[in-house]
Amino acid sequence: MSTNDTPLPANFIRQIIANDLNTNKHNGRVATRFPPEPNGYLHIGHAKSICLNFGMALENNGTCNLRFDDTNPEKESDEYVQSIMRDVQWLGFSWSELRHASDYFEQLYDYAIQLVERGLAYVDSLSAEEIRAYRGTLTEAGKESPDRNRPIAENLNLFRRMRAGEFDEGQYVLRAKIDMASPNINMRDPAIYRIRRVHHQRTGDAWCIYPMYDYTHCISDALENITHSLCTLEFEDHRPLYDWVLDQLQTPSHPQQIEFARLQLEYTIVSKRKLNLLVTEKHVNGWDDPRMPTLAGLRRAGVTPKAIRDFCERIGLTKQNSWIEMGVLEYCIREDLNENALRVMAVLEPLRVVITNYPDGQVENLEVSNHPQRPELGKRTVPFSKVILIEQDDFSENPPPKYKRLVVSEEVRLRGSYVIRCDSVIKNEAGEVIEIHCSYDPGTLGKNPEGRKVKGVIHWVSEAHALPAEVRLYNRLFTVPQPDNEANFLDALNPHSLETLTACRVEASLAQATTVQRYQFERTGYFCLDAVDGINGGLVFNRTVTLRDGWVKD
Ligand code: ATP
Ligand code: MG
């Protein structure tokens, strides 16, 4: 494998395309494609490829197709097809044309017939194990199959009968006749068709032979007049085969394959196969579980498409495999949410506070800004009354040093409201604080008290007005940065990846919460209404991300 040693610019593909346009290499056209296999939901790694392929087309006034690489019918389904279309659109892209590798089954078959007729492919009766044994190793040449010199007429006859369904699975394969001694194992007579008696989600039972990925991909690219076929580094060693197939056939064009490094993101997994295992073994609640690195999971967690696009641009594009810190993605999420999320107050673990000198039955509708830096986002009314709820964490009888929240005999400001002072503490028989009694200073609404400084500000809700809610706090799904490198990645699952708080109370304005809107629960984090459980009946919120990396200071 030849990775380039010289440092590449942040997006070397952008430069290649610019040069190709300058030299009129593909008649001044840019045509890309995003080619997922519909065998799972798209993940954040795919987002890198989507942003690249659609992005290069958009930047250069070109086209980008969405092509389902659907040649493995046993693993594919229409559910995956639908989810992929939805996720690409959600990320903000529209494809020029929607294609399927299966659209080309007939053409692929015709091209294969041409290869057979020209002595460039043969039908082999070796078993899969035998083919593997004959293939040789990196240091040893492979061995030719006894069927390699089967006469062309016989090959043609057998291949037609393979298609006609006369043979069992595994009885024959069609192989390209290239070079069993090639230093590149991919060139040692790779299989290009195999027999599979499986129902295909699009072509049904029309076919019982299916073309292999390497053979299908290059021809599909060529049939779509793709100019730049962008793929991940593991296909670098397959490029000679990509070019060999197209060099033998009179396809409409010969696209240029360019490889880039896959996204590897710390504390998660980007492999559909492994993500599938998490789903089927119920380690998570489905492909759209907010802990999943799938686009469906990120969406349900409240991550915005813009944050993902920013992330993909920020991580750049190179030919070096490397791990990206989760903090980079979280940074992009916070950037967007900080700017756009509406500020609200929610108390996750409530402690009752009675304001003893506030008139019984009085309610003040306070006007509170929805976003302190963006007055155009307006204000909302937040009711204030005699009994409020604050976070248990925001009161301490034995405060640690530098504690700036509520303590006995001291003052604190209630966000958007008055300054209160803690006068006494009510405890149950077990000695736990169940309620605190405070007094408020009526002269402190929107202004500082005279002659003294109040440092701390805490959030609150009015007990009589607040709405009950469930809040789901998500943490990293794995406890180690590179779960993929563990003997068994399941052993590295974080048992505390989901913490559910069911006694939360949120401000009354959230009765109007929508799944489109993002919220900052003041001092707590960024949240969104759960699109599944938060819309029928009770309010359920998902934490998208904490306010800051690590420990949240006051
Ligand atoms: P997986 O192992 O998750 O199934 P894949 O590469 O087999 O990944 P495909 O559906 O074949 O998944 O991928 C569609 C496109 O997305 C391919 O061009 C592939 O190279 C790209 N892609 C997949 N994973 C990543 C990743 N982690 N980073 C960048 N691009 C990726
Ligand atoms: Mg794949």
Q: What is the CATH number of the domain that holds 90?
A: 3.40.50.620
Distance (angstroms) between ligand 2 centre and the Cα of 91 equals 21
Is residue 82 domain-resident?
yes
Beta strands in 282-386 (DSSP E): 323-324, 342-344, 346-347, 350-355, 364-369, 379-384
Examine the domain organization and report whether 367 and 435 are in the same domain.
Answer: yes
Place of tokens 């295909």: 200
End-of-domain residue from the set 416, 445, 461: 461
Distance (angstroms) between ligand 1 centre and the Cα of 272 equals 9
Examine the domain organization and report whether 176 and 91 are in the same domain.
Answer: no
What DSSP designation does 11 have? B
What burial class does residue 286 get, using C-beta atoms within 10 Å of its C-beta: 0-12 exposed, 13-18 middle, 19+ buried? Answer: middle
| Cα 372–chain centre separation | 31
Residue closest via CA to ligand 1's atom 22 equals 46
Q: Which two tokens stand for residue 397?
A: 């009888």
Domain that holds residue 206: 105-211
- Whose atoms come closest to the Cα of 322: which ligand? 1
Q: Which atom of ligand 1 is nearest to the CA of 272?
A: 3
In the three-class reduction of DSSP (H, G, I as helix; E, B as strand; rest coil), residue 223 is classed as: helix
Q: Which atom of ligand 1 is nearest to the CA of 48?
A: 29
Examine the domain organization and report whether 92 and 187 are in the same domain.
Answer: no
299 is catalytic: no
- From 46, 229, 294, give the residue whose CB has the most ligand 1 atoms within 8 Å, as the site to mutate: 46
Place of tokens 């027999």: 195
One of 14, 143, 196, 262 is an active-site residue; which one?
Answer: 262
Q: Give pLDDT, residue 1.
A: 33
Q: Which atom of ligand 1 is nearest to the CA of 264?
A: 27
Is residue 503 domain-resident?
no
Distance (angstroms) between ligand 2 centre and the Cα of 37 equals 6
End-of-domain residue from the set 406, 435, 461: 461
Is residue 311 domain-resident?
no
Residues in contact with ligand 1 by the CB-under-6-Å rule are 35-37, 45-46, 48-49, 69, 231-232, 262-263, 270-272
Examine the domain organization and report whether 232 and 184 are in the same domain.
Answer: no
Is residue 11 domain-resident?
yes
Cβ-contact 518, 341 below 8 angstroms: yes
- Whose atoms come closest to the Cα of 293: which ligand? 1
Spell out the long-range contacts of 245-250 with Cβ–Cβ below 8 A and sequence spacing 24 or more.
245/176, 245/214, 245/215, 245/218, 245/219, 246/218, 246/219, 246/222, 248/115, 248/118, 248/120, 249/111, 249/114, 249/115, 249/219, 249/222
Q: Which atom of ligand 1 is nearest to the CA of 232?
A: 20
Nearest to 255, CA basis, from 31, 28, 23: 31
Examine the domain organization and report whether 357 and 405 are in the same domain.
Answer: yes
CATH of the domain at 191: 3.90.800.10
Nearest to 177, CA basis, from 165, 163, 166, 188: 188
pTM over 0.85: yes
- Whose atoms come closest to the Cα of 234: which ligand? 1
Is residue 23 domain-resident?
yes
Measured CA to CA, the distance from residue 428 to residue 408 in angstroms comes to 17
Cβ-contact 40, 214 below 8 angstroms: no
Q: Give pLDDT, residue 446.
A: 84
Examine the domain organization and report whether 52 and 191 are in the same domain.
Answer: no
Amino acid symbol at 8: L
Examine the domain organization and report whether 130 and 43 are in the same domain.
Answer: no
Examine the domain organization and report whether 57 and 26 are in the same domain.
Answer: yes
Residue 165's Cβ-side half-sphere holds a number of Cα atoms within 13 Å equal to 6
- From 75, 232, 237, 287, give the residue whose CB has the most ligand 1 atoms within 8 Å, as the site to mutate: 232
- Give the DSSP per-residue string, 295-321: HHHHHHHT--HHHHHHHHHHT-B-SS-
Examine the domain organization and report whether 79 and 228 are in the same domain.
Answer: yes
Place of tokens 């229409």: 78
272 is catalytic: yes
Examine the domain organization and report whether 85 and 118 are in the same domain.
Answer: no
Q: Give pLDDT, residue 269.
A: 96
Is residue 522 domain-resident?
no
Amino acid symbol at 345: M
pLDDT tens for the chain, 554 residues: list them. Answer: 334 454 545 689 999 999 999 999 999 999 999 999 999 999 999 999 999 999 999 999 999 999 999 999 999 999 999 999 999 999 999 999 999 999 999 999 999 999 999 999 999 999 999 999 999 999 999 999 999 999 999 999 999 999 999 999 999 999 999 999 999 999 999 999 999 999 999 999 999 999 999 999 999 999 999 999 999 999 999 999 999 999 999 898 999 999 999 999 999 999 999 999 999 999 999 999 999 999 999 999 999 999 999 999 999 999 998 899 999 999 999 999 999 999 999 999 999 999 999 999 999 999 999 999 999 999 999 999 999 999 999 999 999 999 999 999 999 999 999 999 999 999 999 999 999 999 999 999 988 888 888 989 999 999 999 999 999 999 999 999 999 999 999 999 999 999 999 999 999 999 999 999 999 999 999 999 999 998 777 999 999 999 987 644 44
Query: How many domains, in total, are found in the chain?
Result: 3
Place of tokens 């409020």: 388
End-of-domain residue from the set 224, 242, 261: 261
Is residue 405 domain-resident?
yes
Examine the domain organization and report whether 196 and 224 are in the same domain.
Answer: no
Q: Give pLDDT, residue 9.
A: 52
Examine the domain organization and report whether 407 and 441 are in the same domain.
Answer: yes
Measured CA to CA, the distance from residue 105 to residue 173 in angstroms comes to 16
Contacts of 476 (CB under 8 A, 6+ apart): 267, 268, 326, 494, 497
Residue closest via CA to ligand 1's atom 8 equals 271
CATH of the domain at 405: 2.40.240.10
Give the CA diameter of the chain. 102
Is residue 283 domain-resident?
no
